[in-house]
Amino acid sequence: MHCLSQHEQSLSDAYIILTYTRKVLQQDLVHVEKSLFKLKEPYIQLIHSSLSAISKELFEIKKQMHQRNIKVTFGTNDGTFTEVHLFCRGYSQTIRYLNANLKMKVQNSLEKHFIKSTDTPTP
pLDDT at 1: 44
Q: Describe the chain by its helix, strand, coil percentages, rounded to 5.
A: 65, 20, 20
Q: What is the pLDDT of residue 120?
A: 55
Q: Coil, helix or strand for 75?
A: strand
Q: How far is CA 71 from the centre of its chain?
A: 15
Residue span of the structural domain in which 73 resides:
6-119
User: What is the side-by-side order of every strand in the sheet holding 70-77?
Assistant: 70-77, 81-88, 91-98
Establish if 1 belongs to a structural domain: no
The answer to whether residue 63 is domain-embedded is yes
For residue 26, tell me if it sits in a domain. Answer: yes
pLDDT tens digits for range 10-39: 999 999 999 999 999 999 999 999 998 889
Is residue 64 assigned to a domain? yes
The tally of domains found in the chain comes to: 1
Q: What pTM value is reported for the model?
A: 0.87
CA distances in angstroms from 1 to 11, 63, 68, listed in the order given: 13, 21, 14
Domain contains 47: yes
